[in-house]
Amino acid sequence: MAKVVLKQVTKEFNGQQVVKGLDLVIPDGSFTVLVGPSGCGKSTTLRMIAGLEQATGGEILIGEQPVNDLPPGKRDVAMVFQNYALYPTMSVYDNISYGLRNRGYSKKECQVLVEEIAEVVGLAPYLKRKPSQLSGGQRQRVALARAMVKKPQVFLMDEPLSNLDAKLRNQMRVELTSLHKQLGSTFIYVTHDQVEAMTMGDQIVVMNEGQIMQVAAPMDLYQEPDNLFVAQFIGSPA
Ligand code: ADP
Ligand code: MG
C-alpha cells in the first residue's frame, strides 16, 4: 500500500523550476532514500511533503489524503533536520517533549512517552543536560527522539548524519536501520551519499536536476541502471 504519493509535483523559486513534475509512490513501511547531487531538489521535495514548502503544481497525498492545503502539524509526519534545530536553553527532556505540549497530553503522559523514547535512542542518562553538554551523536539522537515522540506514520530526514564523523555516522546508519524495522513506519531519507543510500534504503529514488532518473531497490539499481547518469552516480560496472 502507498503511504505517500506525488503526482506531477513541481516547485518554482522566482520563476525558475527546481522540481520538475515528480511522480513517485512511497510504499507504506518502506525506507525510501532520495539521493542525488547537491542542488538537485531533494530537500525541496522533502520539505513539500512536510508542508514546509508549498508545491507550485501537482498533488501530494499522505495516507491517501490530499495534503497540499494542510499545514505541517496536520500531516502526520515528523522531520529530522541536519542541523538538529534543538533549543539551546532547554534540557534534553524539554527538547523532546516540546512537540507534545500542545497535543493535550498530561504531564505524566508526557513523562512516560519521553522516558520510553529516551530509552530506545540511548538518551535516558542525559535527560537533564543542555544540548551544549552533549556530543554530536547525542544531539542527533535528541533530534530523532523529538520526532519519534510524536509517533508519526512518516519520518522525514534530511541528511541527518552529515554533521557526524565517519565512525559515528556508520554506527547511526545501523541504528536508524534497526529503528525503522522496530517502528514499522515509513522513512523518507535524503542524502547525497550513494553509499549511505545503497546501504540504508529498500527503495532508492535517484534524482538529478529536479527530475527522477530511476526508482529501484538497491541491487536492481546497481545491476540494471536505466541510464548513464544512474550508472555513473551509483558506480555500477559499465
Ligand atoms: P538539494 O537538497 O538536492 O541539495 P535543494 O532542494 O536544496 O537541493 O535545492 C534545489 C534548488 O532549489 C537549488 O538550485 C537551490 O538553490 C534552489 N532553492 C532551494 N531553496 C530555495 C529557496 N528558498 N529560494 C530560492 N531557491 C531555492
Ligand atoms: Mg539538501
User: Which atom in ligand 1 lies closest to the alpha carbon of residue 47?
Assistant: 6
Cβ(230)–Cβ(220) under 8 Å? no
| pLDDT value for 52 | 95
| pLDDT value for 238 | 56
Report ipTM for this prediction: 0.99
User: Which atom in ligand 1 lies closest to the alpha carbon of residue 41?
Assistant: 6
Cβ(35)–Cβ(205) under 8 Å? yes
State which H helix or E strand residue 198 sits in: helix 194-200
The SS3 call for residue 119 is helix
Distance 134 CA to ligand 1 centre (A): 31
State which H helix or E strand residue 17 sits in: strand 16-27
- For residue 210, the ligand closest to its alpha carbon is 1
Q: Which of 102, 100, 104, 131 is nearest to 115 (CA)?
A: 100
User: What residue owns the CA closest to ligand 1's atom 6?
Assistant: 41
| pLDDT value for 42 | 98
pLDDT means per 10 residues in the chain (238 residues)?
Answer: 97 97 98 97 98 97 96 92 84 91 83 90 94 91 90 93 85 90 94 94 98 97 95 82
| pLDDT value for 171 | 87
Distance 52 CA to ligand 2 centre (A): 14
**Pocket of ligand 1 from Cβ distances under 6 Å:** 13, 18, 36, 38-44
- For residue 42, the ligand closest to its alpha carbon is 1
| pLDDT value for 111 | 93
| pLDDT value for 231 | 95
From CA 8, how far away is CA 10, in angstroms rounded? Answer: 6
| pLDDT value for 12 | 98
| pLDDT value for 177 | 93
On the 0-12 / 13-18 / 19+ scale of CB atoms within 10 A, 211 is: middle
Helices (H), 121-163: 136-148
